[in-house]
Structure 1
């Protein structure tokens, strides 16, 4: 049996509101600047660090970590789009073992809500980047890195908003006493 869906709805769930679709897409963009900065470090560009500060980024382990972190952050941000797309409601057929199955809303909402809370707490201090000492960075580098990391502050709240929208569209209707059946 083939499950076909439009971009807006699957099954009985309402279409996601336009703001939720925009917020989901925006998550991939807020993560991108910091990832590109880390990739510049991997490629050997000091990207704002002093010569002494940049040395620790030249090991294979540091480069592997920065590249892995950049890719994982972008993939995690991309998962937010699943909360407004059909593949967030029915898993794609090409995924082994679970392909074609309906996604239980709790399986999407709980991890997304935990992720939103974690990301919000993790990046909460980002707007105050410039108040922290950065002796291993040049003054221009400190400014550039601060600017590139500022969008990360939005990741958790954007994910929370999209998660709330997904939850509202997929919650089970409750019977109200006295309501007609």
Structure 2
């Protein structure tokens, strides 16, 4: 086997693993073992831009390959060779098509992960960004409004199963048995 195939496979697996950073904690704060940036908070654009470029490239490539293969052609428009198992005439072709079909979803799914990452980080970065006199008015937090408290922003656990009035008891309702 050629060395470039092995190296290309390792490289593609490493790049694919970085998609986990869009949902894992190390996509927001760099692991401590990474030189120069370890333990620091990663800017959202530093992660979102490469992920968006990768999602766009994967979507375009998989769409091109999917369309041309379904037409019996390669990406250059030439007819597929007879030894290429992308014909659904036998079980080899059906198995090959079934194995490679999920790759068509990789680009769009990575795109949706990137959008979710960007929305999550934009929301948290807005609340954490300190206001400075040098930041633009769009970057400053609106200090005229009090901050809203949501269940996800507090450590308290809310119990919505019972009404507040039912959980409050008056001292006269409680009988104490002194015996």
> 1:142 Cα shift?
3.9
TM-score normalised by the chain length of structure 1: 0.57
Write out aligned runs for 1:7-156 (5 A).
42=1, 63-128=2-67, 129-132=69-72, 133-135=79-81, 136-138=83-85, 139=87, 140=90, 141-156=92-107
Q: Structure 1: which 5+ runs fail to align? A: 1-41, 43-62
Q: Give distance in 1, aligned partners of 2:18 and 2:5.
A: 20
Structure 2: tracts of 5 or more residues without a match? 73-78, 127-137, 147-179
Aligned-partner SS, 1:151: helix
Aligned residues: 120
1:159 matches 2:110: yes
1:180 Cα deviation (Å)? Answer: 1.7
CA separation of 1:163/1:143 partners in 2, compared to 1, >3 Å: closer, same or farther?
A: same
Give the number of the structure with larger relative contact order, counting CA–CA contacts within 8 Å between residues 6 or more apart.
1
Q: Residues 95 and 81 from structure 1, CA distance in 2 versus in 1: closer, same or farther, beyond 3 angstroms?
A: same
Matched, 1:169 2:115: no
Q: Deviations over 1:39-96 (max 9, x none)?
A: xxx4xxxxxxxxxxxxxxxxxxxx2222222222222111111011110011111112
Aligned partner of 1:32 in structure 2 is none
